[in-house]
Structure 1
Amino acid sequence: MELPNQDLGALFDQLGLSSRPEDIDVFFATHALAQDVKLIDAPFWTPAQAAFLKEEMRDDAEWAPIVDQLNARLHEQ
């Protein structure tokens, strides 16, 4: 199944975060992960957000490619 709007903005909406481009920029400017910290273990996720991200990655589900992008961006620093 393919999502009609597979992008970070749509993923932020799914996570209950603001998907405005400027808010996404602020999110990445204020959140980063060390290379040894898994995306799902980040301290800034709520339990529901972490569970969603974990499930999508584990099941290689429809959001998995966008979650991969999120993971890469958070580990860039």
Structure 2
Amino acid sequence: MEPSYHRFTELFAQLGLPVDVAGIRQFIAQHSPLEAGVKLEEASFWSSAQATMLREEILLDADWAEVVDQLNAALRNH
């Protein structure tokens, strides 16, 4: 089975966040930069369901892991 490629907008939809470019930019601007010692899934702005989804995708190195890593980088490099 081939791994799936997910877009940034699809991850935001899975997390229940705005999926338009302006909404994504606003979310990243509002929540960054994420402190160096804080894991993405432990950031205070996630709901417990969002944090669980992010944690599981990273731990399982699942289909979403690559785009979760992109989100992590975006929140740290902004």
The verdict on a shared fold, with TM-score over 0.5 as the criterion, is yes
1:68 and 2:69 are equivalent in the alignment: yes
Partner residue in 1 for 2:25: 25
Structure 1 stretches of 4+ moved >4 Å: none
Corresponding pairs, count: 75
Local SS of the residue matching 1:43: coil
Partner residue in 1 for 2:59: 58
For residues 11-43 of structure 1, the C-alpha deviation after alignment (integer angstroms, 9 at most, x for no partner) is 000101110110001011111111111101100
Partner residue in 1 for 2:36: 35
TM-score by length of 1: 0.92
Q: State percent identity of aligned pairs.
A: 45
Unmatched runs of 5 consecutive residues or more in structure 2: none
Q: What is the RMSD computed on CA atoms of the aligned residues? A: 0.9
TM-score by length of 2: 0.91
